[in-house]
Structure 1
Amino acid sequence: VLDTWFSSALWPFSTLGWPQPTPEVERYYPTSVLVTGFDI
């Protein structure tokens, strides 16, 4: 079961052609590390 947070986080990737390496993915998501807060 996937919740709203999970699916909403994947929406931009799916519209930009991920998992194929597209120029759009590189432009809008140029990093390879996701930094989140410790309180999550």
Structure 2
Amino acid sequence: MLYLATYSPKFNPIENCWSKIKEYLRGVAARTRDDARNSINGSN
């Protein structure tokens, strides 16, 4: 078993996923929850 620091995003694959999601949402300028849902679902 490997010891991981309390916060080690390099060793936690979900952190990469969240990074890509946030990058995408910034790119489509989703400022509200509804905007985010609509952009993810593909409707404008």
Same fold (TM over 0.5): no
TM-score by length of 1: 0.34
TM-score by length of 2: 0.33
Instruction: Decide which structure has greater helix share.
Output: 2
